[in-house]
Structure 1
Amino acid sequence: MSPKEPTEVEKGALGRRLKSAFAIVLSLGILIGGGVFAAVKVNEAYYAIRTVEDYIGDGKDDIEVTVPKGMSLGGIGTLLVKADVVKTTRAFSQAVNDEPDASKIQAGKYRLKTQLPAKTALSMLLDSNNLVRTKMTLQEGLTVTQSVAIMAKAGGLEQSEITTALKDASKIGLPSWANKNPEGFLFPETYELPQDPTAVQIVSLTTKQFTKVTNSINFSGRAGENKVSAYQALIIASLIEGEVHTSEYQTKVARVIYNRLAKGMNLQLDSTVHYAVGKSGTVTTTDEDRKNSSPYNTYVHKGLPPGPIGSPGQSALEAAIAPDSGDWLYFVTVDLDTGETLFTSSYEEHEANVKKFQDWCNAHSGRC
């Protein structure tokens, strides 16, 4: 039996249904297309509005901007606009309103970029890694005079300002047993300076670190175990630092110093002669140098010099209060490259060791 052909009535009903479906599809297309069109237009309008008040993207050129101490968030916004970091103060204010930690921005110099979105700029200001840090390094064994020059340069100050600050023992935090003498108390370390530091702030960083380190090793208490005062132990530490820089040898040099003091022998340390005559950059002394009448010259005067001859590092401080055991009375560094130092209780052996040093010096012209 063949399929029944649709009647004319049925054909008309089908046509009407197809037309209705087409109309619905067409309407949906118009609505969807219009929605997409509208969304595109809204998006374009958003970016148009945003770029009037704020930058977009990742920024343009590197720039450093200094935020002064005590500046308000509004002032920071104005500062950033002037530097072309952000486009408008309004954009920055909005970013601030959206950030609970905005008030934690520190004073200082920051590495930023020009033409940043305000939110990005604010985020960078809150990241301490973007701070430009001014560092100052004091090496072990430096005298006050040498340290003053480094401090002044690092802080952008006159040397006279540092020198004046050093005279006020209470302001710079010298311990009472320093006898108001800063020599030896400017601890060798790398320091991060604050923004626009004062002379007192710079010096205080070093004396505060000295106190921190000496307290951590009970320096004053352990000095007494060696029958010396804390100040005498500091003098000994400065002598150790002036002679050798390797901790292994520093404890042995400390023992030589204590042994010679116990026997009433002159210390005869070239480092004290260098301090007395104001020499640096050499390890040897001349006959004339060793005849200098300065109380710091341990060839002329018995016992310890009247004060430290420089700032010792922690290993030298520890050596002064915990010397090695031994009967050594003499020592000499025989290789300035490796720092190899020989110790003996025999003068004849010492003379032989000195000959090794002289041979090294002859083989390395200009080094001694």
Structure 2
Amino acid sequence: MNPKRILSIVSVLILLVATGFGVVVYLKAFTANTKFNQDEVFVYVPTNSTYDDVKKIVAPYVENMEKFNFVAERRGYSASVNPGKFLLTKGMNSFSIVSSLRHNVPVKLAFNNQESLGKLVQRLSSQIEPDSLTLTEVFTDSTFMAENGFDKENILGMFIPNTYEFYWNVSPIKVRDKLAKEYRRFWNEERQAKAKALNLTPQQVTALAAIVHEETAKVSERPRVAGVYLNRLKKDMPLQADPTVIYAVKRESGNFDQVIKRVLFNDLKINSPYNTYVHTGLPPGPISMPDISAIDAVLNAEKHDYIYFCASVEKIGYHDFAATYEAHQVNAKKYAEWVGKLGINR
């Protein structure tokens, strides 16, 4: 056979093989390969996962694992797995799936008004990889707390309610350090100066703000409520804040999930440093995580002569304030009668 003809035939065969291989590659790499109905899903790859682990994680969302594996191996992903949170979209092909598994998606970490450190770490661990036990350990590390002016009673005050951006597989230390940095940024020179003018430390302001936060959900009323408690502190009067008693009951029982709508007379006798009916001054730490408006309400408290307040029966959600015990008794009687009619016993 003519050598030129042989060369032509060989060239055609090579072209056909190449074309066939190209078609195979295209079908495996660039055709849709998902099997979920949602527009998008997130998959989570834990730290130290192997490629076999990843295949198990993505299998519920991938139509053809052979196609996925084909691309993953040829793109080197099978030998270099990345931990984190990853986005898959409906109709993705295998090439795009592997690409997505290399792009860690940030997590918007949010928390507010947690009643205890235990509640907080549960909230955090539900959004990022580190578990609640590990987070508790790094937050309560004795060296860290000492360096930042905290102890186990007031460490909850370090956390400023907000939304923070982390990667899902972030280390516990990075979480702690970023939140501590945010705390220091929040307590700028202006806020520290206002706290000093009240003769309070930032930790004490936070402890008082937590009480104010629990006393009223009305942001506009918080500066007035804060003013009442500051007046009591100046007079060395017990704060007699019902939310501290409720916290003490929950803390003593270890059950922060119970709902207590009414403080009973026997509750006022509970032997707890958080019971402000028994102890004067501020409790040793915050009874909850106050939001920024409550902290600023203390720092910018309304100046007045009120030293008493009671829930209003006319403006639900608000309070009636009094400068004398006699006036307060009138307000308290109206409230007690109203509660009695509602039949609230606890």
Q: Tell me whether the two structures share a fold, i.e. TM-score over 0.5.
A: yes
Matched, 1:110 2:91: no
8 Å CA contact 1:238, 1:308 repeated in 2: yes
Matches within 5 A, 1:4-19: none
Give the AA of the match of 1:219.
R
- Within a 5 Å distance, the mapping from 1:238-249 to structure 2 comes to 238-249=210-221
**Matched residues in 1 for 2:174 and 2:242: separation?**
34
Question: Structure 2: where are the runs of 5+ without partners?
Answer: 1-14, 59-63, 252-257
The one-letter code sitting in structure 2 at the alignment partner of 1:111 is L
Separation (CA, whole Å) in 2 of partners of 1:67 and 1:293: 47
The yes-or-no answer on 1:344 pairing with 2:322 is: yes
CA RMSD of aligned residues (A): 4.4
The offset of 1:260, in angstroms, is 1.2
Cα distance in 2 for partners of 1:152, 1:231 equals 25
Residue in structure 1 matched with residue 296 of structure 2 by the alignment: 318
The answer on 1:178 being equivalent to 2:150 is yes
Contact 1:237 1:319 in 2 (8 A): yes
User: Does the 8 Å CA contact 2:247/2:287 hold for their aligned counterparts?
Assistant: yes
CA distance in 1, matches of 2:18, 2:291: 62
Deviation per residue, 1:59-95 (Å, 9 max, x gap) = 4324755566699xxxx99x999674464357647xx
1:251-330 to 2 correspondence within 5 Å? 251-278=223-250, 281-330=259-308
CA contact (8 A) 1:143 1:310 kept: yes
Question: What is residue 56 of structure 1 aligned with on the other side?
Answer: 30
Note closer, same or farther for the CA distance 1:178–1:218 as it changes in structure 2 (3 Å cut): farther
Query: Which of 74, 77, 88 lines up with 2:71 in the alignment?
Result: 88
| Whole-angstrom CA distance in 2 between matches of 1:305 and 1:153 | 30
Aligned to 1:9: none
In structure 2, give the amino acid aligned to 1:150.
Answer: R
Consecutive aligned runs of 4 or more in structure 1 exceeding 6 Å deviation: 43-47, 68-71
Write the mapping of 1:157-168 to structure 2, written as runs, cut at 5 A.
159-168=132-141
- TM-score, normalised on structure 1? 0.67
What CA distance in whole angstroms lies between the structure 2 residues aligned with 1:163 and 1:186? 13
Cα contact 1:174–1:207 (8 A) shared by 2: no
SS state at 1:316 partner: helix
Q: Which of 193, 197, 209 is residue 225 of structure 1 equivalent to?
A: 197
Q: Equivalent of 2:184, from 183, 205, 211?
A: 211
Once residues 178 and 219 of structure 2 are traced to their aligned partners in structure 1, the CA distance between those partners, rounded to angstroms, is 25
Structure 1: where are the runs of 5+ without partners? Answer: 1-42, 97-102
For residue 259 of structure 1, what is the amino acid of its counterpart? N
Q: What is the DSSP-based 3-state SS (H/G/I as helix, E as strand, rest coil) of the residue aligned with 2:168? A: coil
The alignment-based identity, stated in percent, is 25
Q: Distance in 1 between matches of 2:120 and 2:250?
A: 14
Question: What is the CA–CA distance in structure 1 between the aligned matches of 2:338 and 2:219, rounded to whole Å?
Answer: 22
Q: How many equivalent pairs are there?
A: 312
Residues 160 and 212 of structure 1: CA distance in aligned 2, closer, same or farther (over 3 Å): same
- Cα deviation, 1:328-366, whole Å, max 9, x if unaligned, reads 111123369952222221323322322343344345445
Letter in 2 for 1:316: A
- 1:188-245 CA-to-partner distances (Å, cap 9, x unmatched) read 3345553345544454454443333333x73322201222222322222222123223
Once the two structures are TM-superposed, the CA of residue 281 in structure 1 deviates from its matched residue by 2.5
Contact 1:295 1:305 in 2 (8 A): yes
Q: Could you tell me the TM-score, scaled by structure 2's length?
A: 0.70
Bigger mean CA offset, 316-325 vs 196-205: 196-205
Where do 1:80-159 residues align within 5 Å? 84-85=67-68, 87-89=70-72, 92=75, 107-112=83-88, 116-117=92-93, 120-121=96-97, 124=100, 131=105, 133=107, 137-140=110-113, 142-155=115-128, 159=132
Q: After superposing the two structures, state which structure 1 stretch, 261-270 or 333-342, moved more.
A: 333-342
Q: Are 1:270 and 1:283, in contact at CA under 8 Å, matched by a contact in 2?
A: no
- Cα distance between partner residues in 2 of 1:64 and 1:350: 56
Q: Counterpart of 1:31?
A: none
